[in-house]
Amino acid sequence: MLTYDDILAEADHHNLTTKEKPLRAHKGLIAGRNIAIKAGLTERDKKCVLAEELGHYYTGTGDITDMRSMANRKQEHHGRVYAYDKLVGLTGILDAYRHHCQGLSEAAEYLEVTEEFLAESLSYYKSKYGISVTVDNYVIYFEPTIAVLELTD
């Protein structure tokens, strides 16, 4: 499992400067090689926000703060998807299942992400894969609620 310090190290590896700032409208922003994280967030919040900002660094270009633009909304989406895949992913869902996590709260705690972030990632995976997806010997169901079924021979 990646920690906030792991994500900070990744940002540093790419010569990105990350600082906590008193942001008002956003939890995080990236401008050039500088990432601002809203001061006062929990470590889990900071981890989720920084992963998304790294996603913007890898996948985006320019100022995308104006969400009236379709192109900006697409870039925002790409940054979030990067963070979902990095911090949760289908393997994370399976790991939470294997560790007997019951419900969103326990799974978020196990994955060390916020419940909101996990819920958003599950919503994204449902929109991407539909009702279910098969990974190795498991079926992950997204409807009517998240569930994992282990396939046996």
Residue with token string 């995308």: 64
Where do the DSSP E strands lie in 1-153? 17-21, 28-31, 34-38, 132-135, 138-141, 147-150
Tens digit of pLDDT per residue, the chain (153 long)? 899 999 999 999 999 999 999 999 889 988 889 999 999 999 999 999 999 999 988 886 655 555 566 655 676 678 899 999 999 999 999 999 999 999 999 999 999 999 999 999 999 999 999 999 999 999 999 998 899 999 986
User: SS3 for 70?
Assistant: helix
- Distance between CA atoms of residues 118 and 147, nearest Å: 14
Nearest-5° Cα angle at 16, 83 to 118: 15
Residue 63 in tokens: 């100022």
Tell me the residue length of the chain.
153
pTM assigned to the model: 0.89
